[in-house]
């Protein structure tokens, strides 16, 4: 870009996208992707999510934290010339030339309603609330579909065996995007099973953390009441000052 142009000239000539902020004149490498069958030229270094926005989509579903944590942007795609149906999080995956894709905004499933205090800590909690886990044929399609690279089939098998610890360990990073459940030939809703299992493990299987007990006792005794009252009573200006001056672990 020429140095001699003024800021105003540059703005007036800009082809910057309103949503992605990408100026098409800055782009050297382009790829073609097909969103629901229609082809779009997009910059090669965009994620699927930003590429869709570049192409003109305004995402009101299938879009959340944009950081790979919320699980809202499940996407399925095929690469040109490939038979495999792959899946990914749109915010975490870069576009590739010839990608055919669509977003899956929602996985229809009902989560169990239960009182954790009255459940028994064995496999029967899964039989009661998600009996369809017994339909698993060990095809491993769920694992292949998981954008978090979890061993999904293994944690469903742990549920069948009543092994809560292994289930909790293996499903810990689940973000509930729902891709496993949509691919499952046995119609299992894996993420709900994992959720139930982790709650059960948290309630009955893992030791109560000492530091939490200590801190709760401190709060009960009112050790933080005056500090909290001071914050609640502070002006916005004071809060901003406090925030800017806060000490973070990474600063120490």
Partner 1 sequence: MAQTIVITPKNETFLKRIVALSAEAITVCDQCGTCSGSCPMIHEMDVTPSQLMRMVQLGQSEALDTKTMWVCASCFACTVRCPRGLDVSKVAEALRQVTLRRSVDRLDIRNIPSDELAELPQIALVSAFRKLTG
Partner 2 sequence: MTSEQTSTTHAALDAGSPKRTRLPYYPGCTLKTTGKGLEDSALAVAETLGMELVELPRWNCCGVVTSLTDDDLMRHIAPIRNMVRVQEMSDAGLVDDKRVVTLCSMCFNALKWSNARIGGNAEDLKSINDFMYLEEDYRGDSEVVHFLEILKELDPEAIARQVKVPLGNLNVAPYYGCTLLRPKSIGIDDPENPTIQRKFLETMGATVIDNSYKTVCCGSYQTVPDKYAVAELTHDILSHARSAGAEAVTTFCPLCAFNLDNRQREVLEKHPDFEPMPVFYFTQLMAVAFGLNAECCRFDLNHTDPRPLLRGKKLMKEDA
Site residues, partner 2 (CB under 8 A): 122-124, 134, 136-140, 143-144, 153-154, 157, 160-163, 185
120 binds, among partner 2, partner 1, none (CB under 5 to 8 A by kind): partner 1
Token digits for 20?
């992605």
Residue 187: is it exposed, middle or buried by C-beta count within 10 angstroms (0-12/13-18/19+)?
A: exposed
DSSP label of 250: G
**CB-nearer residue toward partner 2: 44 or 186:** 186
Minimum distance of partner 1 from residue 185's CB (angstroms): 10
Query: CA-to-CA distance for 202 and 184, rounded, in angstroms?
Result: 27
Minimum distance of partner 2 from residue 160's CB (angstroms): 5
Q: Which residues make up the interface to partner 1 (CB under 8 A)? A: 120, 123-125, 127-128, 131-132, 134-135, 160-161
**CB-nearer residue toward partner 2: 27 or 160:** 160
**CB-nearer residue toward partner 2: 54 or 164:** 164
Minimum distance of partner 1 from residue 107's CB (angstroms): 18
Query: CA-to-CA distance for 46 and 93, rounded, in angstroms?
Result: 8
Neighbouring C-alpha atoms within 13 Å toward the C-beta of 35: 18
Residue with tokens 């965009």: 46
| 8 Å CB contact between 139 and 157 | no
């Amino acid at each position: 870009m020429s140095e001699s142009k003024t800021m105003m000239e540059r703005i007036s000539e800009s082809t910057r996208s309103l949503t992605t902020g990408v100026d098409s004149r800055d782009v050297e490498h382009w790829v073609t992707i097909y969103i629901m069958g229609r082809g779009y030229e997009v910059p090669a270094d965009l994620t699927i999510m930003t590429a869709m926005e570049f192409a003109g989509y305004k995402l009101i579903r299938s879009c959340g934290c944009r950081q790979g944590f919320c699980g809202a942007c499940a996407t399925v795609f095929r690469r040109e010339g490939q038979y495999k149906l792959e899946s990914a999080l749109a915010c975490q995956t870069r576009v590739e030339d010839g990608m055919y894709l669509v977003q899956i905004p929602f996985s229809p499933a009902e989560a169990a309603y239960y009182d954790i205090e009255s459940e028994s800590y064995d496999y029967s909690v899964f039989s009661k609330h998600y009996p369809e886990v017994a339909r698993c044929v060990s095809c491993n399609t769920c694992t292949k579909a998981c954008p978090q690279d979890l061993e999904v089939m293994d944690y469903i098998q742990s549920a069948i065996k009543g092994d809560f610890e292994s289930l909790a360990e293996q499903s810990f990073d689940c973000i509930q995007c729902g891709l496993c459940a949509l691919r499952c030939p046995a119609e299992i809703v894996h993420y709900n099973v994992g959720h139930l299992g982790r709650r059960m493990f948290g309630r009955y299987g893992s030791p109560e953390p000492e530091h939490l007990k200590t801190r709760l006792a401190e709060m009960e005794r009112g050790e933080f009441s005056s500090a909290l009252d001071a914050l609640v009573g502070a002006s916005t200006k004071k809060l901003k000052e406090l925030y800017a001056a806060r000490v973070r672990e990474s600063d120490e």
